[in-house]
């Protein structure tokens, strides 16, 4: 019985014990869950705190960067104002100097006439005193006021002969006046002195100072001794000579664009003594300009190109006149501006600018010197020479539209920033432009020609004859439709004519990602993501994102399917990639990579299969990296080269 009770008690107590054990187990489990949740909450809070700290740091850095930019801008504004004030002061001083110089000339002439009149009673010494005085005033050189001694001697003898003849005729009058008294003699002497002053004043002008063609073959236009010294080396050449130098002094040349072409052209034209040099540009100096734009220094970065170039050119030649146009030239302003000049130099690098500058040169009947350079090559031609008169004359020179009736497609027209350029190549083309401008001024009747320059060719210069103008040209033929009124009205859209701006908006938002997102993907799963750089190989070799591979966009443009084959072949040699990696695209600024990805997505292979199957892998097309290499350098890796 006791045994049964024991059994019953055991049976009775077992459920209670099990319940307590179950309750304890449940409590432990709940506490573990609660601890886990608390840990996750703490980790989430810590993550949020870190993100807030990062955001605050970014905001502080952005604010500091903005403050620094504001300070730099204020500094540049102060420098620019100081430069403007200095230039204005130099202009004022230059004008005052010219006025003082003119006054000195007049004082010298008056002093000389007084001296000549004072020695009239001693006629044998008249010529000696005049010559000696003028030579002393001129510094003792063999040239007297820039006129050869032989010319001065001939004019002196003629003047003396006329004075002697008049004095002989007045001799009897003087004797009669002397007989009538000293008062009459005094009046006669004053009259004679005034007549002599007039004669000497005419003699002082000399044939070289008279307007028009002088009768004396030895006479020359007014030219200072300093100008002979400055331009003498080119004046002694038969191609220039004295007459050619006078033409240069009276000429007016307009340079549109003060970049790699405009800087050397402006420098040589200023040194050659062109009378008026017009400078047109609306840009400021950048660091990337310094390797080829020879008028600028490191200290000029951020300053106006026109004002900086003006200051440098005045240091080269302060005796010519400069006109400054610190703005971008437009079709509406071009004709009125071109009217003021004899020769136009197109030193721009935009396709649309070349077309409207040529059209403006045609309607204003101005010869146009054109050149361009890219990479290691350049081209040059003289257009609209002789100027087109819209009368069907077959001997008139062609315009830019005659040579290039249709503009190049925007995607094929690359700038120096995209394709690069060698500094000396641009310098060569700018110097050739200056030389041709001098030829147009001194020898205007020349045959149109076209020059191609290749710096790395065995024969770098190749000369071609330009065809005569296109008889159906819309700008310079009898059938022309472009008029001055149409240009000045602003109704011609040259950007649209040249293909407009390239449409880079070819991807959806979900097909693009930031450089930080790309960095996160590449770091977290490097075997599943690969970055393709579509820049040229030369730029890729300068600097690239670590782990990226190179596929130039030119290869993709030639044939997207062939480009995919080249891409697959390149990726097949990447041993670290998985079986199904995703391909992302990057370029320099985030523009070409969009076009490259769009081309690949529209290719037949991707449209049919959705993926690129090559070798043992299947590649998925991923996203474009916003901002490209430049954004990666600024936000991720500042040690990458900034070229």
For residue 372, give the H/E element and its range: strand 368-374
| Active-site position among 473, 476, 518, 587 | 587
Q: 260, 247 in Cβ contact below 8 A?
A: no
Q: What angle is formed at CA 13 by the lines to CA 9 and CA 18, rounded to 5 degrees?
A: 155
For residues 560 and 605, what is the distance between their CA atoms, to the nearest angstrom? 9
- Short-list 622, 407, 414, 383, CA closest to 518: 622
- Strands of 449-454's sheet, edge to edge? 321-325, 276-280, 252-256, 343-346, 368-374, 377-383, 449-454, 461-465
Phi, then psi, of 56 in degrees rounded to 5: -65, -40
Is 587 marked active-site?
Answer: yes
| Active-site position among 263, 399, 416, 473 | 416
β-strand partners of 276: 252, 321
Is 498 marked active-site?
Answer: no
Q: 368, 400 in Cβ contact below 8 A?
A: yes
For residues 426 and 207, what is the distance between their CA atoms, to the nearest angstrom? 46
Q: Give the Cβ contact number of residue 522 at 10 Å.
A: 18
Burial classification of residue 567, based on how many CB atoms lie within 10 Å of its CB (0-12 exposed, 13-18 middle, 19 or more buried): buried
- Short-list 155, 493, 260, CA closest to 356: 493
CA distances 229 to 143, 166, 225, 510, Å, are: 12, 41, 6, 70
- So which residues are the catalytic ones? 416, 587
């Amino acid at each position: 019985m006791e045994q049964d009770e024991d059994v019953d008690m055991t049976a009775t107590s077992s459920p209670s014990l099990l319940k307590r054990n179950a309750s304890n187990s449940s409590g432990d489990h709940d506490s573990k869950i609660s601890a886990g949740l608390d840990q996750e909450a703490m980790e989430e809070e810590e993550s949020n705190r870190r993100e807030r700290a990062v955001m605050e740091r970014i905001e502080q850095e952005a604010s500091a960067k903005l403050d620094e930019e504001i300070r730099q801008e204020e500094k540049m504004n102060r420098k620019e104002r100081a430069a403007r004030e200095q230039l204005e002061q130099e202009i004022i001083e230059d004008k005052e100097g010219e006025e003082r110089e003119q006054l000195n000339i007049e004082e010298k002439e008056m002093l000389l006439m007084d001296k000549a009149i004072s020695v009239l009673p001693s006629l044998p010494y008249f010529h000696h005193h005049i010559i000696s005085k003028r030579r002393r005033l001129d510094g003792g050189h063999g040239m007297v006021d820039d006129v050869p001694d032989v010319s001065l001697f001939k004019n002196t003898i003629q003047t003396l002969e006329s004075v002697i003849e008049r004095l002989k005729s007045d001799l009897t009058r003087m004797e009669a006046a002397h007989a009538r008294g000293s008062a009459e003699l005094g009046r006669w002497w004053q009259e004679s002195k005034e007549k002599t002053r007039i004669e000497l004043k005419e003699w002082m002008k000399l044939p070289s100072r008279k307007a028009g063609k002088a009768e004396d073959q030895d006479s020359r236009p007014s030219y200072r001794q300093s100008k002979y010294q400055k331009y003498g080396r080119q004046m002694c050449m038969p191609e220039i000579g004295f007459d050619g130098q006078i033409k240069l002094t009276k000429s007016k040349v307009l340079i549109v664009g003060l970049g790699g072409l405009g800087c050397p052209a402006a420098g040589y034209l200023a040194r050659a003594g062109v009378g008026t040099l017009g400078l047109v540009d609306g840009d400021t100096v950048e660091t990337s300009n310094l390797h080829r734009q020879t008028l600028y220094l490191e200290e000029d970065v951020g300053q106006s190109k026109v004002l900086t170039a003006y200051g440098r050119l005045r240091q080269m030649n302060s005796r010519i006149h400069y006109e400054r146009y610190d703005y971008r030239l437009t079709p509406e302003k071009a004709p009125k501006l071109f009217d003021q000049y004899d020769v136009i130099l197109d030193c721009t690098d935009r396709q649309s600018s070349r077309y409207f500058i040529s059209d403006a040169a045609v309607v204003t009947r101005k010869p146009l010197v054109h050149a361009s350079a890219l990479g290691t090559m350049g081209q040059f031609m003289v257009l609209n020479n002789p100027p087109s008169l819209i009368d069907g004359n077959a001997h008139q020179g062609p315009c830019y539209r005659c040579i290039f009736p249709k503009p190049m497609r925007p995607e094929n027209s690359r700038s120096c920033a995209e394709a690069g350029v060698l500094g000396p190549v641009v310098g060569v083309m700018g110097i050739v432009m200056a030389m041709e401008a001098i030829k147009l001024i001194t020898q205007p009747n020349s045959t149109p020609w076209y020059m191609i320059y290749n710096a790395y060719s065995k024969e770098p210069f190749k000369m071609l004859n330009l065809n005569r103008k296109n008889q159906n040209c819309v700008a310079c033929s009898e059938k022309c439709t472009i008029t001055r009124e149409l240009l000045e009205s602003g109704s011609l859209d040259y950007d649209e004519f040249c293909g407009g701006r390239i449409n880079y908006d070819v991807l959806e938002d979900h097909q693009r990602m930031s450089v930080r997102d790309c960095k996160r993907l590449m770091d977290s799963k490097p075997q599943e993501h690969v970055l393709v750089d579509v820049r040229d190989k030369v730029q890729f070799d300068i600097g690239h994102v670590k782990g990226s591979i190179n596929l130039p966009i030119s290869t993709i443009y030639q044939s997207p399917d062939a480009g995919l084959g080249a891409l697959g072949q390149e990726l097949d040699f990447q041993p670290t990639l998985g079986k199904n990696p995703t391909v992302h695209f990057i370029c320099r600024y985030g523009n070409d990579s969009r076009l490259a990805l769009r081309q690949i997505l529209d290719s037949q292979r991707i449209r049919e299969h959705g993926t690129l199957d090559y070798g043992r892998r299947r590649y998925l097309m991923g996203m474009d990296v916003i901002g490209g290499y430049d954004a990666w350098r600024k936000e991720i890796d500042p040690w990458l080269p900034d070229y």
